[in-house]
Amino acid sequence: MSNGTKNIFIAHTPLQNLVAINIVNQFFKDEQYHNTLISSVPCKTKNVFNTVRTIRKNNNLKLLWDTYSAKIYIDKSVKTQACSFFISHTSGLLDNYIFYELANNNTSLEVNFFYDGILYFYEYKEPFKKIHDTRKKIGKWLGISYKFIPKIFPYNSSEIKAIYTVLPKFTLGAKNKLVKVAMQANTYEPNKRSALILGGKPSLLTNDEVKDIYRQMISIMTEQGFEIVFFKGHHADKSSNFERVVGANFTYKDITQNNPIEEVIETYKPTHIYSYPSTALVNLKAMYGDKIDINAFYIEDKKSDIDYMTPIFEELKINFQLL
């Protein structure tokens, strides 16, 4: 068995990459740790990890091969040295394998969970979708018995060693297992006359409701007279709701891209952010505090959808308006 502990992080999103980087920087920089990132999205800060393995999703054969190779790497690591795994939920194929198979068959293996946004703040149950059938089929080919369990953040499981989170006060789980992760940010000097709209299509809102929210944002921003306004839509949103309501007299720069706002905000440096309630707003406030003024909007008739977020917004001083 090799000396030291191998920490293996499984990530599926840029946010998970970012949180994993912060965890390594804050807790596992000593030479006794070998830090590995297995991610299905490219990681820009690779030098934080000793090993980085990317699972390519743009080609089915590459996806299968990379997932199989990652499983072989995981199995070999468990057999040769002490391993500590870090996953955000149990929905993904490798995450599911680690939590429901490896952890059950290896008492010396440690499993930790790390922050994945608002999923950690309430009792979320994932609905069954076609992708779960796909994971079961792929799992059989790879020697993995994929288990569909709607509660993908099993915060009360005795199998969990620790839960690394940005906001321990609001995170589900045993208090003695919650570990505070600071979303460390560089020195932030915002442009005081700039603002940013974070767009997208929340699944619980209709297109007309989203348009009403955009209209309210545009009205407020027009009154404020910002010199620069950025619009960052969600890369998966094809509704064009914002484009349908914005007038010819409202000037803005579209910066829609795949990268999350947490990664790119320092390129644009807005002082004010307008959006619907989301994980991104919580993360930005945790990173920059009073340097950013954040305003969230939602529909009053659907307030019960997000009641669990109200105390979080109050704690972080995020302005919240119902329409």
For the chain, domain boundaries: 5-180, 191-322
- Nearest partner of 41 among 58, 27, 28, judged by Cα: 58
- Do 5-180 and 191-322 come out as alike in CATH topology? yes
Question: For residues 294 and 275, what is the distance between their CA atoms, to the nearest angstrom?
Answer: 8
Two tokens, residue 57: 């999703």
**191-322 has which fold?**
Rossmann fold (3.40.50)
Kindly list the distances between the CA atom of residue 69 and the CA atoms of 66, 146, 246, in Å, as whole numbers in the listed order: 5, 17, 48
Amino acid at residue number 219: S
DSSP of 202-222? -TTS-HHHHHHHHHHHHHHHH
CA distance 183 to 18: 8
* Residuewise pLDDT in 10s, the chain (323 residues): 456 899 999 999 888 998 999 999 999 999 999 999 999 998 878 899 999 999 998 888 999 999 999 999 999 999 999 999 999 999 999 999 999 999 988 878 999 999 999 999 999 999 999 999 999 999 999 999 999 999 999 999 999 999 999 999 999 999 999 999 998 666 788 998 999 999 999 989 999 999 999 999 999 999 999 999 999 999 889 999 999 999 888 999 999 998 888 888 989 999 999 999 998 999 999 889 899 999 999 999 999 999 999 999 999 999 999 99
Tokens of 32: 């006794």
CATH code that applies to domain 5-180:
3.40.50
Residue 127 gets which letter from DSSP? P
Task: Give the residue ranges of DSSP H helices in the chain.
Answer: 14-27, 60-80, 93-97, 103-105, 130-142, 207-224, 241-245, 261-268, 279-288, 310-316
